[in-house]
Amino acid sequence: MNRRSDARPLSNEAFLAKLRREGAARYHDRHPFHLRMHQGKLTKRQLQQWVLNRYYYQTRIPIKDALILSKSEDPAFRRVWIRRVRDQDGDDAATGGLDSWLILARGVGLDPDEVRSLRSVLPGVRLACDGYVQFVREASLLEAVASSLTELFAPTLMSRRLDAWGRHYPWVGSGALTYFRMRVSRADLDARHAVSFVMREATTRERQTACIEALIKKAAILWHLLDCIQADCVRPSANGRNAHARFPRQASA
Ligand SMILES: O=C(O)c1cc(C(=O)O)c2c(n1)C(=O)C(=O)c1cc(C(=O)O)[nH]c1-2
């Protein structure tokens, strides 16, 4: 990694191209668990395990975004960024992203209260998501914003996911997929705002390098989350069938 302070900053075009290249190469759309999901190869229980564990990630998002808010001295920045907290928490108890995720949980046959309780979240998933919050807590505002740039790749993944779920898992029902539908445009909007901030603030090569490293770190966190889910529920058992360890309660209705 080039840390020389006399290296000239990349142009915005070259910097953004490098962010895209480094991020895309590591983004979790390529993870074997996602590939299996998109090919329709996940069982109902594996899909449930993903939904249950990913909820923990969702609950960390508004917390890390509140940390980012607290790092900014700029009302204009905060005015835009605070929308991310509201997007997840909603204006009331039934309108936010977290609630949409619980509708998804019910759609895949899970008990939303069980999911909300977080008590069945895998330890490794907890560590990965807490690692994201910890990173943002300790990072500069610029690095923290740069770490959100995995969202550059999220709209394409959401569209692919919507298509795959409609095709391969029709039993889930289209109404349960509102969260993904909503994220296609929201992630795009969020990423655009984050990109313009990063382009404006990363004025030296060192800062640009720190942004790229932050994005790589975040991509690794998302990847590790899926590694944990896969290790728990996709690993082959001795007789060649998938093992389903420690499974949460099913929805009663
Ligand atoms: O389902 C996904 O694949 C996925 C990926 C990402 C991402 O790429 O960071 C986010 C989300 N979902 C998401 O729902 C979300 O709210 C979100 C916020 C952030 C962030 O870092 O600020 N990433 C993501």
- 126: domain CATH number? 1.20.910.10
Report the residue among 99, 149, 183, 224 best suited for mutation to probe ligand 1: largest number of ligand atoms under 8 A from its CB: 183
Number of domains in the chain: 1
Give, using CA atoms, the residue closest to atom 19 of ligand 1: 148
| Contacts of residue 187, Cβ cutoff 8 Å, sequence gap at least 6 | 151, 154, 155, 158
Q: Find the mean pLDDT for residues 44-62.
A: 98
Q: State the average pLDDT for the chain.
A: 92
Domain extent, residue 43, equals 12-233
CA of 151 relative to ligand 1 center, distance in Å: 6
Q: Quick check: CB of 148 below 6 Å from ligand 1?
A: yes
Q: Which atom of ligand 1 is nearest to the CA of 132?
A: 21
Taking residues 153-166, report their average pLDDT. Answer: 98
- Residue bearing the CA closest to ligand 1, atom 12: 154
Tell me the range of 6-10, 211-215, 248-252 where mean pLDDT is highest.
211-215
Residue range 177-190, pLDDT digits in tens: 999 999 999 999 99
- Identify whether 1 is part of a domain: no
8 A C-beta contact, residue 146 and residue 211: yes
Distance CA 185, CA 64 (A): 21
Residue 119 domain-assigned? Answer: yes
- What pLDDT score was predicted for residue 4? 54
- Indicate whether residue 146 lines ligand 1 (CB < 6 A): no
Q: Hey, how many other C-beta atoms are within 10 angstroms of the C-beta on 69?
A: 15
246 found inside a domain: no
* CA 187 to ligand 1 center in whole angstroms: 7
- Cα of 222 vs centre of ligand 1, distance in Å, is 9
Residue 243, domain member (yes or no):
no
The predicted structure's pLDDT at residue 95: 84
Our answer on whether the CB atom of 100 is closer than 6 Å to any ligand 1 atom is no
Question: CA-CA distance, 57 to 13, in Å (whole number)?
Answer: 31
Cα end-to-end span (Å), the chain: 54
Residue 190 domain-assigned (yes or no): yes
Q: How far is the CA of 7 from the centre of ligand 1 (A)?
A: 32
Q: Give me the pLDDT at residue 103, please.
A: 97
Percent of the residues in the chain that have a pLDDT greater than 70, as a whole number: 90
Residue 238 is assigned to a structural domain of this protein: no
Residue 253 lies in a domain: no
* Dist. CA 90 → ligand 1 center (Å): 17
Cβ distance 57 to 97 under 8 Å? no
Would 241 be classed as within a structural domain?
no
Q: Is the CB of 61 under 6 A from ligand 1?
A: yes
122-130 average pLDDT score? 98
The minimum-distance atom of ligand 1 relative to the CA of 179 is 14
Cβ atoms of residues 138 and 64 within 8 Å = no
> What global pTM score does this model have?
0.91
